[in-house]
Amino acid sequence: EQRDIATPSRTREILAKHGFTFKKSLGQNFLTDPNILRNIVAAGDIDQDTNVIEVGPGIGALTEYLARAAHQVVAFEIDDRLLPVLADTLSPYDNVSVIHQDILQARIDHVLQEQFTNDGRPVKVVANLPYYITTPIMMHFLDSKVEIAEMIVMMQKEVADRISAKPGTKAYGSLSIAVQYYMEASVAFIVPKTVFVPQPNVDSAILKLTRRPQPAVDVINEKAFFGLTKAAFLQRRKTFWNNLQSYYGKDEATKAWLQQSLKEAEIDPIRRGETLSLEEFARLSNVMEANKK
Ligand code: SAM
């Protein structure tokens, strides 16, 4: 019987057999620890009734574990040099399709329709993300408006902390809000950099995101709401009031609109943006919309 792809010895053999060299620019740090893979699959409750989207299968270390546990797996890989490798390593599994595409160019909604038989199985995203585009990938999935039940994604620990951060903490920002609006976020476990080849410079974390039945807060105009959260964090050292003026304008009419809205929403303008909860941002955004002429 074959050893797991993720064992250090088999990984070395596969890399040597195909003469593969890592591209740092593509965020290629491959997992070489079957234990971590087991924990990822367990954290995602991946079972025979789950369809999985993977980003960046590499040589197939995680893909193999997903193929064994899930109903079907669709994996996006940008590096054409990995296609023959994956055809080789994943040949024992008939429920995996590898798509040669930049995930940021992929129409997720089309992929779901074309790749997964429309049978009501939940779709989960499970990936060891390429770290140079962690945030764009997360936003791409959220913007796709596709119903992803859960995301179990490995990323830099620092980014996982930012996404799952609570108000009033240093890590809390517009990214926390953008994600937590749709999903409940928590760090499942920390992964030391020693389990990758080559080793990255930073430690990693598995972030678990679970879709909320509806967004965390009621918002009249989502675009305006997300704009407001961006405004709040323009410059962290400044007060909310200063940042609001920088974002919306300093003319008298704008100032009056902002002052009146803050008063009605009962939010003190000298607070710092990072102390506002999702509820407070939503309340203020809705009042600002209502007061707009
Ligand atoms: N899943 C493998 C593992 O855990 O060992 C590899 C993970 S490695 C951190 C990231 C993978 O994403 C690499 O295989 C890389 O080629 C691929 N990748 C990088 N940018 C990508 C993109 N824009 N779209 C799809 N895959 C990408």
123-132: pLDDT as tens digits: 999 999 999 9
How far is the centre of ligand 1, averaged over its atoms, from the C-alpha of 11 (Å)?
15
pLDDT exceeds cutoff 90 at 196: yes
For the stretch 82-124, pLDDT in tens is 999 999 999 999 999 999 999 999 999 998 888 887 678 999 9
The rounded distance, in Å, linking the Cα atoms of 67 and 214 is 30
Closest approach atom of ligand 1 to CA 103: 24
How far is the centre of ligand 1, averaged over its atoms, from the C-alpha of 180 (Å)?
25
Query: What is the value of pTM for the model shown?
Result: 0.95
Size of the chain, expressed as the number of residues it contains: 293
**Atom 21, ligand 1: which residue's CA is nearest?**
78
Angle at 257 between CA 252 and CA 258, to 5 degrees: 100
For the stretch 22-74, pLDDT in tens is 999 999 999 999 999 999 999 999 999 999 999 999 999 999 999 999 999 99
Give percent of the chain above pLDDT 70. Answer: 99
Q: For ligand 1, which residues put their CB under 6 angstroms from it?
A: 26-31, 55-58, 61-62, 76-79, 102-104, 128, 130, 133
Residue 81: name the closest of 147, 142, 34, 23 by CA: 23
How far is the centre of ligand 1, averaged over its atoms, from the C-alpha of 128 (Å)?
7
